[in-house]
Amino acid sequence: MRRISFTVVLFLFTLLAIHISGCGDIGNMIENATERDVNFTKTVHDGVVKKDVAVAPMVQDEVLSNQNEPIVDAFDLTNIVDPIDLSKEHLPGALFYFYGRMINNADQNVEVEIALYNNKTDQLEPVMNVYLAPHQTLNFTHPHDLSDKPRNVHKIIVSKLRTLGKDKDGLYTGGFQLTLYADCPASVQVPYLGLANLPLHRKTESFDSSAYHQYSDYFLGVKESFLNGSVQNDSDFPMTVELYISKDGRIEGDANLVATATLGAKQFIYGKGMMLSDGEAKLADGIKEMIEGTNVFFEYIIIADDAFTATGFNLEIEAAIKVGYDIGW
């Protein structure tokens, strides 16, 4: 009996000693056994990207006269429409405009009307007019060359393009008309004319939840989320970089914008320096949605007024996801 009592006393004494000297270590051990961080990374831009103005040719080496019928033809828009999802209300990276050269042969002011086909109304509808002084040669290669409000011209163009669909060959085909207006007989040379979009790099990818959905029952939160790495403008002109996060690929403008920066010639910026004030919260929300099974995408845009070259140095979305396990106590 005395032996049993001594054993019990010794056991209780040992527990008391552990409680006094080591309870903090036990707490840490329990925490480490039930919680841990899972790292999330997604590459956004690594390497060199080069882009130029994209042009869908409409006219080449034609003479437009007010004594003859307007120039009416079809043209292939695939190379400028395919990179843009026209079904979206917000079109990041898109600014459509007319790109070309016109020469007025007349001794008077003339006006060239550009119309695009609307598939819904089955009509050629005016988009904008180009005004030429006597014997003027006009080159227009940037959005502001023909209008001080290029975004308004863009919206009119988009309203026509949205009515188009792919043909049997998988191409976007549109129609156009050029009409010359002048008080007297006149003609205008059109060496080239096309519908253009600014130089654009666009990358859209899913977060790929397959590796993280297993944590959905144990998700405790996102400890931190940020944009790591850097990007550099290697060009002689400014460029704008934008990163969006969206559910099911739907972008609704600034509500989805996580990071942005306008880089001058040869300028360099770290990813963290591009983050908006609410960017981390948007990233964390996107990662939470991904773990819960929602299709979450990022859309990365680089756009400039001129041809550009940009280098990404391991520009990545990174996050620490906190998960916990029920150990059954």
Q: Assess if residue 132 is contained within a domain.
A: yes
253 has pLDDT over 70:
yes
Whether residue 87 sits in one domain with residue 123: yes
pLDDT-based confidence at residue 325 (cuts at 50, 70, 90): low
Could you tell me if 286 and 243 lie in one domain? Answer: yes
**Shared domain check, 247 and 296:** yes
Give the pLDDT band of residue 2 (cuts 50, 70, 90). very low
Instruction: Specify whether 267 is located in the same domain as 233.
Output: yes
In sequence order, what are the residues at sequence separation of 6 or more whose Cβ sits closer than 8 angstroms to the Cβ of residue 255?
A: none
Same domain for 227 and 165, yes or no, is no
Q: Is the pLDDT of residue 326 over 80?
A: no
| Statement to judge: residues 189 and 110 lie in one domain | yes
| pLDDT > 60? residue 324 | yes
| 311 lies in some domain | yes
Q: 247 pLDDT band (50/70/90 cuts)?
A: confident
Going by the DSSP 8-state scheme, the letter that residue 302 receives in this structure is E
| DSSP line for 20-52 | HHHHHHHHHHHHHHHEEEEEEEEEEEEEEEEE-
Query: Cβ contacts of residue 44 below 8 Å, gap of 6+?
Result: 203, 227, 229, 243, 298, 300, 312, 315, 316, 317
Mean pLDDT of 95-123: 94
Same domain, 58 and 44: no
Residue 17 is assigned to a structural domain of this protein:
no
Checking if the pLDDT of 23 tops 50, the result is: no
Higher pLDDT, 124 or 326: 124
> Mean pLDDT highest for which of 167-181, 266-280, 283-297?
266-280
Q: With 90 as the cut, is the pLDDT of residue 260 above it?
A: yes
> Is 32 contained in some domain?
no
Q: Which residue has the higher pLDDT, 209 or 13?
A: 209
**Which of 81-95, 120-134, 255-269 is predicted least confidently?**
81-95
User: Is 201 a residue whose pLDDT tops 80?
Assistant: yes
* Average of per-residue pLDDT across 133-138: 97
The yes-or-no verdict on residue 15 having pLDDT over 70 is: no
Clarify whether residues 233 and 291 are in a common domain: yes
76 and 184 both lie in a single domain: yes
Give the residue-averaged pLDDT of 176-189.
Answer: 96
| DSSP classification of residue 69 | P
Q: What is the pLDDT of residues 137-172, one digit of tens each?
A: 999 999 999 999 999 999 999 989 888 877 777 788
Total tally of structural domains belonging to the chain = 2
Structure tokens at 198: 């600014």
Residue 29 falls inside a structural domain? no
62 and 168 both lie in a single domain? yes
Q: Please indicate, yes or no, if residue 4 is contained in any of the structural domains.
A: no
> Within this chain, do residues 240 and 129 fall inside the same structural domain, yes or no?
no
Q: What is the pLDDT of residues 29-54, one digit of tens each?
A: 335 556 788 888 999 999 999 999 99
Residue 16 has pLDDT above 80, yes or no: no
Given 142, 174, 198, the domain boundary residue is: 198
pLDDT tens-digit readout, 69-101: 999 999 998 888 776 767 666 676 788 999 999
pLDDT of residue 210: 76
Position 255 scores a pLDDT of 86
- What's the pLDDT score for residue 89? 65
The pLDDT, as a whole number, for residue 323 is 85
Strands 239-247 and 296-304: antiparallel
Round to whole Å and give the CA distance between 204 and 45.
11
pTM for the whole structure: 0.75
Q: Is residue 3 part of a domain?
A: no
User: The CATH number of the domain where 309 resides is what?
Assistant: 2.60.120
pLDDT at 7 over 80: no
Question: Among residues 181, 198, 215, which one ends one of the domains?
Answer: 198
Whether residues 60 and 187 fall in one domain:
yes
State which of 148, 177, 198 marks the end of a domain: 198
Per the CB < 8 A criterion, the answer to whether 215 and 291 are in contact is yes
Instruction: Tell me whether residue 15 is in a domain.
Output: no
- Domain residues for the domain of 44 are 37-49+201-324
